[in-house]
Structure 1
Amino acid sequence: MVVTEALQRTQDNLAIVIDERAMACVHGDSGLGKTLSVNASLRELAPAETVRVQFRSHPYLRDIRGVLFDALELPGPKPIHPLEFDTLLKDKLSERFRVLVCDEAQWMSTECFELWRHLWDDPHTDIAIIFVGGANCYKVLQREAMLSSRVLLWQKFEPLTPAEVMAVMPVYHPIWAEADLEIILLANRRAGHGNFRAWARVTVLAVRALKHLKRTTVDEEVLAWVCDRLGGQEPA
């Protein structure tokens, strides 16, 4: 993991959210480091208070209640009736402060968002909520006026700029520390596109390419070997 401007901004934003017992939304395209940045920040800010939950696509209310029940390590059988279940969750969330992290938030329905709002609005619960989601997460949450009006901070993740790529990639892996900056920019144009997940694939294959081609430094031939195996990449 390398420190980027987005990671630093995430940590600053989440510090505010924790202090204010507020809600936040961290959103952006896949592979840009949203979840990693949130998790890394919370390991620094609230390691003992963080509760992470993630759901399959389009969860039902019972899924959210059930996952929270397990994540909060509540004893006994799960309540059958929703009112009883919500009371149990609120009682647990009133015992001490917790940060609830909901990943892939864009999959949730209005009813599910209303449950999160209900838990946060309760005067006795002591929680902050962080929604993390893909590119359309912002639009999905904005449609939920009752919830979005309560979100204190919105942070959008963007692809790394070429300048950031030149600064970050040499720290990310030793093969890029030894490569010319022009080669790093070429790799970004052809396959990386400022996306950390894409750069991880490029790096894995580049390491193998160096061994296969018996090279010590990434050059255009190494990149050609990598891009040929990635497939679907645009020429520089």
Structure 2
Amino acid sequence: MLCLTGASGVGKTFGVEAVLAGHPAHRVCMISLPSRPAPADLRAAFHHALDLPGSPPDDPGVCDAAVLDVLGAGPRIVVVDEAHQLSPAAFEYLRYLYDSLPDGLCTVLIAGERGERVLRETPMLGTRAALWREIRPLDADLVPLAARRLHPLWQQAAAAQLRRLDGRFARGRLRRWALLTHHARRIRSTASAGCREWIEQIVARMDDGSIR
């Protein structure tokens, strides 16, 4: 099991999906859950994520047998986002799946910065979490490279301009850079000015509260 933590918007889920893009799609199982899911929600989520036919069986034992049969057929990477919202019973269900498979189950648990304590205080992770990693906001020196890779719109922007935008608004967080890019595309599509001028328009919108 891998526990991945970090502040909101730093790119935890994006980073995991980028890594998993290099794996065959059928090896990846992304679990989407409601807030405070119960074991029944987990069973249903696994049933759908594994493309099992029909609706999840009402009998928990039948549902678990089908899920384990597919998970045991070959290596899988299970990703659970917002894992700090899992109840103790839901964590126990993950433990049950992990312990029921001969080779365990590669499981990535993603939690926000405030949710790290929840994961660290979960007993079942004490002996099963092989790795803990924290994703931090980008250092200022990495911002120009990251912004230019995020979208070609930033290719011609000077490094100093990108660091200025980051310091004023994004603060190293990928989600905020995505928002900046959204606004920049709208401004750039209607402006004939050069790069420096439309970046100044973005800064002006920050000052008047149009970009939050």
Q: TM-score category by the smaller chain?
A: 0.7 to 0.9
Q: How does 1:135-146 map to 2 (within 5 A)?
A: 135-146=113-124
Q: Does 1:230 align with 2:211?
A: yes
Counterpart code for 1:50: V
* Residue number in structure 2 paired with 1:18: none
Pair 216,72 (structure 1): closer, same or farther in 2 beyond 3 Å: same
Q: Conserved in 2, the CA contact under 8 Å of 1:119 and 1:125?
A: no
Pair 230,76 (structure 1): closer, same or farther in 2 beyond 3 Å: closer
* Residue number in structure 2 paired with 1:8: none
Structure 2: how far apart are the matches of 1:185 and 1:77?
50
Q: How far off is 1:177 after superposition?
A: 2.3
Residue 130 of structure 1 aligns to a residue whose secondary structure is strand
Q: Conserved in 2, the CA contact under 8 Å of 1:100 and 1:128?
A: yes
2:29 to 41, 51, 57: 51
Q: How far off is 1:213 after superposition?
A: 4.9
* Residue number in structure 2 paired with 1:101: 79
TM-score, length basis structure 1:
0.79
Percent identity, please. 29
Residue 58 of structure 2 aligns to a residue whose secondary structure is coil
* Residue number in structure 1 paired with 2:168: 190
Q: How does 1:149-228 map to 2 (within 5 A)?
A: 149-219=127-197, 221-227=200-206, 228=208
Q: Does 1:92 align with 2:70?
A: yes
Pair 77,31 (structure 1): closer, same or farther in 2 beyond 3 Å: closer
Q: How far off is 1:106 after superposition?
A: 1.4
User: Stretches of 4+ moved more than 6 A in 1?
Assistant: none
Counterpart code for 2:200: E
* Residue number in structure 2 paired with 1:24: 2
Q: How far off is 1:99 after superposition?
A: 1.3
Counterpart code for 1:222: Q
TM-score, length basis structure 2:
0.87
Number of aligned residues: 209
Instruction: Structure 2: state its 5+ residue gaps.
Output: none
Q: How far off is 1:123 after superposition?
A: 4.1
Structure 2: how far apart are the matches of 1:89 and 1:171?
38
Residue 133 of structure 1 aligns to a residue whose secondary structure is strand
Instruction: Structure 1: state its 5+ residue gaps.
Output: 1-22, 232-236
Q: Conserved in 1, the CA contact under 8 Å of 2:183 and 2:202?
A: no
Q: Deviations over 1:117-137 (max 9, x none)?
A: 110011446531111222223
Q: Conserved in 1, the CA contact under 8 Å of 2:31 and 2:46?
A: yes
Counterpart code for 1:230: I
Pair 224,65 (structure 1): closer, same or farther in 2 beyond 3 Å: same
Q: How far off is 1:163 after superposition?
A: 0.3
Residue 2 of structure 2 aligns to a residue whose secondary structure is strand
